[in-house]
Amino acid sequence: MEKRVILVLLIFSLIGIAILLLIVVLQMQPGTVIERPTPIQTAPEGSVCQEVYVPNNGGINIVFLGQKAQAKEYADYLLSIEPFKSNTDKFNVYAIENVDVPCQLYKGTVLLCYDKETIKKASVCPNDYIVVLKDENEDIRSSSYLNVMSLNTKLPASVFAHEFGHAFAFLSDEYTPATPSKKNKNCVETCTQFTGNNEGCFPGCAENSLYRSVDEGLMRTLSADTFGVFDEGIIREFMPESKNMITGNAVKETVNCSEQNSLLLEISNKDGQRLIKSVTPYIGCISTLAHRASDWTIKGKSNEGDLKTQTSFDDSLLFFDGQKNTEQTITGGAEESNQSTFVAIMSQDVSRVEVVDKYGQTVDEKNLSKRVSEEPLQNPLSELLNNGTATISGILSIVLQKKVAYNTYQTLDRQYFENYTFQLKPNESMRLGTVFNPLNITLNESGNYRIVATITDKNYNQQNASWEFLVVN
């Protein structure tokens, strides 16, 4: 049985206020799989990955979604304090300017930009850690959740070091009241646990019953300019032994995110249960820090069940922190979050993804090779419809293109409806299925494709619309 895929393109008319609704129905030869009805996602046009500080391409990658000058200020601050100052060659910093990032005010007081769109927009650059910069009122707290930090630029630059302490080294807040990190090491039960590698022993560290190693450190107040010796030691434990440890590269290599085919998984989180909510193919870089996590593993497998790629993530608290000019210490806290987790993996040769818990049990899986429709479509439409008040005439062309790089497509040799003339009176339609479907298009090569429809009027004005999709054979 032949499968059909509906591609819906909305084209605004070239004449007056008339609108064309173009619905193209493609008949694909048996054996060709259009994977997932979701269009291929790419970063928005105009998004450019700018280098702020890149000593090597094998280190830890931080990307700022915000102005490059601001990104440099935050990066300069972080790399001016220990232990980052002694390890500047292990960090790469990038910026993506003029990008609209979806953020929310969590509970009305916390800036939270952890979202599927944020992950995809950051993928233009290498992105182990993502930092979103937003200008909010002083009352709005910054946050850290997994590898995404959402910074209110009204707060001091030290808020970046504080949130990075959460994200990078799982440090707990050292003010009270708060909640210790799930991997807490800096808040201890007895002073003897500091083993002499500290400035002192002070009561109150997330909880009143716990102790901190420094009186006024960055995990307690934004007025500080040091983490303290003990916390610095914890942070160093997460530093790569060499600048290329993360990727295993022996030499510096250029990372081209526009050539990386990836899958973004949305993993729901409800009462501790992790299920695959959606899988979105996109073009872009993914995080390389999977070796640090242990709670959950995402495995990408072939049709034959061979492991092709895997990554991991941990359960994490949502940290939120702020400090007004009149306050001596940070206020905020941390809490469990039931929102979805977004995890990216490479998509090459992957036809099934699995979620595996820390005990090695598969808790959910999704077959990515399932066809878009297992049942024949009823009464498929294939027409140009003039919903306007004026007669429309022009030339319709439809071409099939393959993505060869970021925002770069190559038109295939064969073109469809090239120079096909049409004229439509108001409320008149023209079916295309009888012309297009007999072509029996077959795509023999896997990859990212798009169909581009172009309407040209008598004055040679053109209007384009397109639909992107992934083909796996």
What would the pLDDT profile of 379-394 be if each residue is shown by its tens digit?
Answer: 334 456 777 788 878 7
Give residue 469's pLDDT.
63
Confidence of residue 55 (pLDDT cuts 50, 70, 90): confident
Both tokens assigned to 193: 């646990």
pLDDT, mean of residues 320-336: 94
Nearest CA-CA partner of 123 in 247, 283, 308, 231: 283
Give residue 470's pLDDT.
66
Flag whether 162 is in a domain: no
pLDDT, mean of residues 232-244: 81
Both tokens assigned to 351: 């036809």
Confidence of residue 30 (pLDDT cuts 50, 70, 90): very low
The pLDDT of residue 16 is above 60: no
Q: What is the CATH number of the domain that holds 32?
A: 2.60.40
pLDDT, mean of residues 64-84: 97
Q: Is 390 helix (H, G, I), strand (E, B) or coil?
A: coil
Q: Give the number of domains in the chain.
A: 1
Phi, psi angle pair for 442, to nearest 5°: -125, 130
Confidence of residue 11 (pLDDT cuts 50, 70, 90): very low
The pLDDT of residue 95 is above 50: yes
The pLDDT of residue 250 is above 50: no
Confidence of residue 15 (pLDDT cuts 50, 70, 90): very low
Least confident of 50-54, 122-126, 228-232, 415-419: 415-419
Is the model more confident about 12 or about 282? Answer: 282
Give residue 412's pLDDT.
77
Flag whether 91 is in a domain: no
| Average of per-residue pLDDT values in the chain | 79
pLDDT, mean of residues 191-201: 88
Residues 6+ apart with CB under 8 A from 272: none
The pLDDT of residue 4 is above 80: no
pTM, entire model: 0.70
Give residue 394's pLDDT.
79
Token pair 């928005």 is at which residue? Answer: 44
Flag whether 220 is in a domain: no
Distance between CA atoms of residues 49 and 125, nearest Å? 5
Both tokens assigned to 110: 């916390």
Nearest CA-CA partner of 119 in 92, 160, 148: 148
Flag whether 422 is in a domain: yes
| Residues counted in the chain | 473
Domain membership of residue 413 as a residue range = 3-37+373-472
User: What tens digit of pLDDT does each residue of 304-320 get?
Assistant: 889 999 998 888 899 99
Residues 6+ apart with CB under 8 A from 448: 40, 261, 281, 283, 402, 403, 468, 469, 470, 471
Is the model more confident about 450 or about 330? Answer: 330
Distance between CA atoms of residues 365 and 302, nearest Å? 13
Distance between CA atoms of residues 6 and 22, nearest Å? 11
Distance between CA atoms of residues 282 and 470, nearest Å? 9
Flag whether 205 is in a domain: no
Q: Which of 142-156, 263-277, 359-373, 437-451 has the highest mean pLDDT?
A: 142-156
- Peptide bond before residue 203 is cis, with ω within 30 degrees of 0: no
Is the model more confident about 173 or about 275? Answer: 173
Distance between CA atoms of residues 220 and 459, nearest Å? 67
- In the chain, what is the greatest distance between 2 CA atoms, to the nearest angstrom? 86
Flag whether 229 is in a domain: no
Confidence of residue 214 (pLDDT cuts 50, 70, 90): very high
The pLDDT of residue 468 is above 80: no
Give residue 2's pLDDT.
37
- Peptide bond before residue 83 is cis, with ω within 30 degrees of 0: yes
Query: Do the beta carbons of residue 44 and residue 61 sit within 8 Å?
Result: no
User: What tens digit of pLDDT does each residue of 111-168 get?
Assistant: 999 999 999 999 999 999 999 999 999 999 999 999 999 999 999 999 999 999 999 9
Confidence of residue 218 (pLDDT cuts 50, 70, 90): very high
Q: Is 220 helix (H, G, I), strand (E, B) or coil?
A: coil
Q: Radius of gyration of the chain from Cα atoms? A: 26
Burial of residue 270, with CB atoms counted within 10 A of its CB: 0-12 exposed, 13-18 middle, 19 or more buried: exposed
Distance between CA atoms of residues 94 and 257, nearest Å? 13
Flag whether 409 is in a domain: yes
Flag whether 172 is in a domain: no
Q: Which of 34-43, 107-116, 281-290 has the highest mean pLDDT?
A: 107-116
Q: How many CB atoms lie within 10 A of CB 420?
A: 14
The pLDDT of residue 20 is above 60: no
Give residue 9's pLDDT.
36
